[in-house]
């Protein structure tokens, strides 16, 4: 995320209000009460309800997996415990978080649909402009459920919400983009690290979901870094005045997706009258062409500097 953060700082400097006034909905494994996320969670709801922690939380947000907390930190973490070193993309943004995945990171179509309905119901109350889904949903056996998910996401898009979805980690084969990421009514984010760890078999570009060559809807839309992204740890705790497990590194298109969502929050803050379709086009047209095949990079690497011009 370092290159992207450098672009953000070129524009915002050390300001911590990037994304102010923008609410991002996050459907994931939940979100832990991390110091870097203090005051940023506007609403939380659990759609899984299988963990004993659900009954202990009493409405307080929690994350029994850590994935959602990591994504939230990339979106809008303040970087408080790191002196700003691990600040998120849009630290001025706020979150509405739905827990649709359990402690193993597994979930059901029903939980996701309930979460999407919830986000839709809260859209106007919290001025939700962006929905981040860092969940790679493969082809479902029940095509009716797959279609229902696509239709719900497209309904949110029609209402003006920018829907940003992970391409998934099933690549590099042709046509391995997450099933919900195949819609023209979402921004689908693949993973690419530029020159970082060039030649390493562990680079996220090696497994990022790819689109179908020559398809009418060309996917992914763009890519962002996703290898060894450091962000908030779900198991952060304090003992004897010291914070432990405050930050962890994770990799995948799940990490690339909130980089793009956070960049979009900065864009919508700067251009408040911009529609979701206009924001999608600006993300695409300002991306840096990496010279890769379209079904791997889309329009290219997200470029925050150009995006905010």
> What residues are annotated to the active site?
28, 67, 254
- Segment holding 60, helix H or strand E: none
Nearest to 146 by CA among 183, 174, 176: 183
> Residue 99 belongs to what H/E stretch?
strand 94-99
Token pair, residue 304, equals 């925050």
The single-letter DSSP state of residue 107 is: B
Instruction: Please state the φ and ψ torsions of residue 37, each to the nearest 5 degrees.
Output: -110, 10
3-state SS of 29-45? CECCCCHHHCCCEEEEE
CA within 13 Å, CB half, 84: 8
Nearest by Cα to 302 from 206, 177, 164: 164
* Torsion angle defined by CA atoms of residues 287, 120, 274 and 193, in that order, rounded to the nearest 10 degrees: -10
Q: Quote the CA–CA distance of 254 and 232 in Å, as a whole number.
A: 14
């Amino acid at each position: 995320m370092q290159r992207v953060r450098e672009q953000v700082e070129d524009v915002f400097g050390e300001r911590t209000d990037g994304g102010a006034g923008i609410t991002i909905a996050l459907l994931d494994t939940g979100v832990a009460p991390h110091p870097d996320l203090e005051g940023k969670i506007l609403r939380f709801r659990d759609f899984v309800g299988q963990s004993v922690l659900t009954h202990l939380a009493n409405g307080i947000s929690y994350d029994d997996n850590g994935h959602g907390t990591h994504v939230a930190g990339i979106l809008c973490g303040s970087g408080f415990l790191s002196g700003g070193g691990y600040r998120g993309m849009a630290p001025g943004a706020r979150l509405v978080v739905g827990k649709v995945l359990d402690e193993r990171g597994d979930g059901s179509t029903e939980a996701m649909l309930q979460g999407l309905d919830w986000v839709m119901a809260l859209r106007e109350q919290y001025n939700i402009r962006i929905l981040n889904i860092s969940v790679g949903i493969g082809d479902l056996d029940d095509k009716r459920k797959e279609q229902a998910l696509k239709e719900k996401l497209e309904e949110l898009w029609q209402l003006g919400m920018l829907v940003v979805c992970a391409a998934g980690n099933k690549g590099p084969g042709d046509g391995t983009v997450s099933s919900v990421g195949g819609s023209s009514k979402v921004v689908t984010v693949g993973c690419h690290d530029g020159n970082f760890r060039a030649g390493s078999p562990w680079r996220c570009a090696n497994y990022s979901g790819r689109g179908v060559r020559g398809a009418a809807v060309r996917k992914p839309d763009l890519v962002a870094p996703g290898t060894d992204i450091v962000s908030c740890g779900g198991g952060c705790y304090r003992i004897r005045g010291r914070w432990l497990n405050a930050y962890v590194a994770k990799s995948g298109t799940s990490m690339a997706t909130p980089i793009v969502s956070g960049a979009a929050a900065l864009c919508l803050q700067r251009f408040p009258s911009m529609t979701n379709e206009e924001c999608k086009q600006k993300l695409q047209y300002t991306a840096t062409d990496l010279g890769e095949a379209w079904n791997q990079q889309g329009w290219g690497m997200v470029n925050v500097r150009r995006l905010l011009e």
